[in-house]
Chains A and B, each alone.
Chain A
Amino acid sequence: MSEDPWARLARLTPARIGLGRAGAGLPTREVLRFGLAHAQARDAVHTPLDEAAVTAGIAALGFETLSVSSAAPDRATYLRRPDLGRALTEEARAALTAAPRESVDLALVVADGLSARAIHEGAAAFLAAFQPHLARAGWRVAPVVVARQARVALGDGIGAALKARAVVVAIGERPGLSSPDSLGLYLTFAPRIGRSDAERNCISNVRPAGLSHEAAAHRLDWLLNQALVLGLSGVGLKDGSGPALAASPARAALEDLGRSDP
């Protein structure tokens, strides 16, 4: 008995293909699967960041850490007031500038964004993958800043306060139904308050089932090198790191199919 061909195709992508249909509608099974995934994503948005655990995981890699909060006091405010999520509190700014600092090449920020789950599951793992690149390049790195109720642009103020030539913000992306654990990496050269999104480079979908931590680290290494050499980031800096995914999960699945089904 041969397998449903749609099931074979569905193995090539995490997208919801080959669902079948009941008239114009979805089968009941798929309506319920979708509803459950949405319920879980809604719950994920509201899960608070476990700062102690995240900090401990990063410290265990040998990084110094600092903790800050944005000016958004809670999740409800955070969702309606992105301006507050981009602003540091006075205390946070004071904490960052308390110790006199030498300028550094790079500031790293780990931010909850819209999915603390992405940080809980992926932040330390990504930093571990990026560590060899840091060592090889010899970049001077500021303490890793763990930021709560944070938007991407919070990194601009942090990077400036830490006198960094560039800042990378690893942030929980808004959870999709199939990806509540996705990290985004945002690179900004010469961070300062008021940078626009066109001045950033983004690497998204960093998670085990998406872009692997190793591939993301490779791509970030390339972009960071270019940014520091060219003195810019954003639309003027094209990602020329090449396809880092010669052996992707989907490609492997396809090859498996080819082998098992002559």
Chain B
Amino acid sequence: MSYRHAVGTRTHVFADLPTLMAKATPVRSGDRLAGIAAESAEEEMAARWCLADIPLREILAKPLIPYEDDDVTRLILDRHDSRAFAAIAHLTVGDFREFLLSAASETLARIAPGITPEIAAAVSKLMRNQDLILVARKCRVVTRFRNTIGLPGRLAVRLQPNHPTDDAAGITASILDGLSYGCGDAVIGLNPASDSVSTLGSLLHLFDDLIRRLEIPTQGCILTHVTTTLEAMNRGLPVDLVFQSIAGTQGANASFGVTLPILKEAHEAALALKRGTVGDDVMYFETGQGSALSAGQHHGIDQQTLEARAYAVARAFRPLLVNTVVGFIGPEYLYDGKEIIRAGLEDHFCGKLMGVPLGVDVCYTNHAEADQNDMDTLLTLLGAAGCNFIMGVPGADDVMLNYQSTSFHDSLYLREVLGLKRAPEFEAWLERIGLADADGALLPGGPNQRLVAAMPGLSDAGLAA
């Protein structure tokens, strides 16, 4: 069935729901690359008018990718909570936007299991940036492993100590630097340069030793392929969190070498280790608009909707952390600062609305039309939107992955401007160890001697007085 909207004497026709959703999407380079973007500004707005009138029930009844063809569609529909959906079942997409703007936090938490990614994506297309911020701020998704992430008024930071050759001393130096800025409550998470199991083993031990010796209420993660982490767990290595990049279609996940049964196996293996202290949320996922198109597995669906479908995959495994690496993929998907900012707000909104603990890697590459000023803007907006966590990369320059993200300093900026605190357990630890005062403000001084003394491999560098 086609959709139509008349503007004056001209009638815009949209062949089907995927076409309509794509054309209603604020234009970005990835949808243009796929040949599915609106071809004029008027067509884009006509599609939005048309989308506003579609009942949520109709979106639920018309899967964008057939049930038989795609296990992500099956996951979405098989797990759909129709009781939670009942509260919004009578609404159109346009009504739903207004409902969200006036809904209380408790209501949003109650309906989350009834919201499919397609519904979240559809309503986001009608929302301005301020709507995305306002509604996301009301959605609280709290998760726990060794601390509590996502509480109102708080922002956590992933300490990302990447090193081009996985050198233990170099990684440790970056961790020390990050902890000194009060970063690392979301996770101390390293992207290794090598995916060899022997490298992984020594890195896992390094992180485990560090967290134990300093008694840091946080978790470590080496962000390697899920099958490698599974092997590490089988060998008895100390794995806190299981990491995997995921996407919104079965085919795109296959291109990452991952399936839903593999994720389930890894989830169960990590749960069995019982390494959490205050909770058992053990999964860490990363996503990003454009991955399905990049893998040639997008089924003609716009990249923002597919991104929301990745959150349905994440949701099934009760993750501690999910982050959209928003500007990492490059200008062929998000061309410039404006597109990256919009995508970051959309992703955060859709994830939170679906009950997923979204953080954002506020980032760009050197071949995109963006710079640090764009990142400042998006970072500030996400702080206002109640984002669960951001990245902390030394000086915002990732020397392993070759892109720019947010820095330890950026987190201090955001805390000062918006009054955001760290995870409570981590904040108490910072005070205990003498890095911050009772309000979480950093105390002056050089490298903290207790930290240095506990750092494997650094105390012999003459730093511990």
With A13-B163, A15-B162, A210-B164 in contact, is A205–B193 under 8 Å at CB? yes
Chain B, interface residues (CB within 8 Å), range: 35 or more
A80 x B409 contact (CB < 8 A): no
**Interface hit among B114-122, B123-131, B276-284, B396-404:** B396-404
B interface residues, Cβ below 8 angstroms from A = 29, 32-33, 161-174, 176-177, 193-199, 202, 225, 227-228, 231, 254-257, 294-296, 330-332, 335, 365-367, 371-372, 393-404, 407, 409, 412-413, 415-416, 446-447, 452, 457-458, 460-463
A-B residue pairs, 6 tightest by C-beta: A16-B395, A176-B402, A261-B462, A13-B170, A235-B257, A24-B412
- The yes or no answer to A143 lying at the interface (CB within 8 A) is no
Other-chain residue from A6, A23, A176, A235 in contact with B225 (beta carbon distance below 8 A):
A235
Which residue of chain B lies nearest to A15 when distances are taken between CB atoms in the complex? B394
Contact between A24 and B169 (Cβ–Cβ < 8 Å)? no
Given the complex of chains A and B, what is the CA–CA distance between A253 and B257 in angstroms?
Answer: 38
* Residues of B contacting A: mostly: mixed
Contact residue among A83, A175, A250 (Cβ-Cβ distance under 8 Å from B167): A250
Contact in complex: B409, A21 (CB < 8 Å): yes
Partner of A251, one of B32, B169, B463: B169
Kindly state the separation between the CA atoms of A13 and B175 in the bound complex, as whole angstroms: 11
Stretch at the interface among A57-65, A92-100, A161-169, A196-204: A196-204
Q: 6 A-B pairs, CB-CB below 8 angstroms?
A: A9-B461, A13-B163, A38-B404, A179-B399, A238-B231, A245-B166
Complex interface bits, A170-206 against B, C-beta within 8 A gives 1, otherwise 0: 0001111111001000000000000011100000110
Please tell me the size bucket of the interface on A: 35 or more
CB neighbours (8 Å) of A249 from chain B are 167
Contact B404 A15 (CB under 8 A): no
How far, in whole Å, are A81 and B163 apart by their CA atoms in the complex? 31
Whether B399 lies near A15 (C-beta < 8 A) is yes
> Looking at chain A's contact residues, is the secondary structure mostly helix, strand, loop, or mixed?
loop
A80 touches B255 (CB 8 A): no
> Out of A15, A25, A38, A82, which one reaches B170, CB within 8 Å?
A15
Partner of A196, one of B162, B295, B407: B295
| Interface assignment of A147: CB less than 8 Å from any CB of chain B | no
Residues facing B in A85-140 (CB within 8 A) are 114
CB-based contact A242/B196 at 8 Å: yes
- In the complex, what's the smallest C-beta–C-beta distance from B124 to chain A, in angstroms? 24
Query: Are A30's CB and B412's CB within 8 A?
Result: no
Closest to B400 in A: A205
Q: Which residues does chain B contribute within 8 Å of A175, judged by CB atoms?
A: 366, 402
**A13: which of B173, B256, B294, B371 is its contact (CB, 8 Å)?**
B173
Instruction: Point out the residues of chain A lying under 8 angstroms from B397, CB to CB.
Output: 15-16, 34, 37, 176-178
Whose C-beta in chain B lies nearest to the C-beta of A35?
B372
CB proximity of B412 to chain A, nearest CB, Å? 4
A15 to B394 CA separation, bound complex (whole angstroms): 6
New A-B pairs, 14, CB < 8 Å, besides A249-B167, A258-B460: A5-B452, A9-B447, A9-B463, A15-B174, A16-B396, A17-B174, A26-B407, A81-B33, A82-B33, A178-B397, A198-B255, A239-B194, A243-B196, A261-B461
